[in-house]
Each structure stands twice: as structure tokens, then as C-alpha cells.
Amino acid sequence: MFYIIGPRGSGKTTIGKKLAESKGYQFVDTDKLILERAGKTIAEIVEQYGWEYFRQLETETLKSILQDKTIVSTGGGLVLAEENQKIMRDNGTVIYLNAKPDVLAKRLAAEPQADQRPSLTGKSLVEEIEEVMQQREPIYRATAHHVIDATQSIDDIIAQLNDLT
């Protein structure tokens, strides 16, 4: 089982799908699973129930995905809960897709998904990413078994990940 962590725009879903395809594994995106189960967008969930409730949904969802031969793409903030960090480290290999805030902002601006989730800070995209990464970078690194440079080509990243197993 592989867990792919990292901020929005790092390529978790794209890499996760490709890795699952190359290994013949199942692919699960925690955000997508939450959307399907709740019947609402993340923005709607947060607006109606708040971030704490959404974070609880993330943990419940993570606990529900403990089957072998699965690649799990996680929401960017899923690592904030120590329980989630432990679940991932104890049940699989955790891969952190790392990229600088300006790269992430360019990727997100190129494919805006406003309904995906609301701003965490109310600041500009680059400012928000910098602020969020300042908080999360140490957590991503401490949780991950492997750190991968997410600015490489998809094929190069997949080749590196296939070499890990």
C-alpha cells in the first residue's frame, strides 16, 4: 500500500493514478471518496460543518482504505492529524511529492477548481501556499518514508516510485 501526500497542485492524483496503472493496483483519492460519500463538495462540507468536521471525515475515510495493493492519494491537509500520520506509516509506504510554492501556484492557476475547497487563509494563492507550506512542510517530511521532487516529469517520478518496491 502506498500513500501519496503533499500540497494541492503537487500531482498526487495524477501520479497516484499512473503508479496504480503501472503496478496493477487499485487507486483511491481520499478527497474524491469524501465527495462521493457526502454528496457534497469539500467547499460545501466546510461551509456547512466547518474544517474540524471535514478533518474527521478525512480520518474516517483513511481508516476505511486499508486493503493491499492500493495507491492512496490524500488531501493536502490529511497529514495534520497525528492519527492519520500513524495510520499511513503503519500500513504502507508514504511518498511526499515536494514542490516549491511558486510551482504549486502556477499549476493551480492553470487548472482552477474553486469548488474543490475554500481558501484556508483568504490570501492570494501564492501567499496562501507559502503560509500553508511553512506549517506543513515539516509534517510532510516527518510522515514520509520517501521525498520525491514533484517538478520532474511524470515518467521520471513513476520510474523512481517503481524502483522503491
Binding residues for Mg(2+): 13
Residue 73 exposure: Cα atoms within 13 Å on the Cβ side: 23
Binding site feature residues:
9-14, 31, 55, 76, 117, 136, 152
Q: Which long-range contacts (CB under 8 A, 24 or more apart) does 88-91 make?
A: 88/3, 88/5, 88/62, 88/143, 89/143, 89/145, 91/1, 91/66
What is the rounded CA–CA span in Å between residue 124 and residue 126?
A: 6
Binding site feature residues for substrate:
31, 55, 76, 136
Let me know if 49 is exposed, middle or buried by CB neighbors in 10 A (0-12, 13-18, 19+): middle
Binding site feature residues for ATP:
9-14, 117, 152
Let me know if 69 is exposed, middle or buried by CB neighbors in 10 A (0-12, 13-18, 19+): exposed
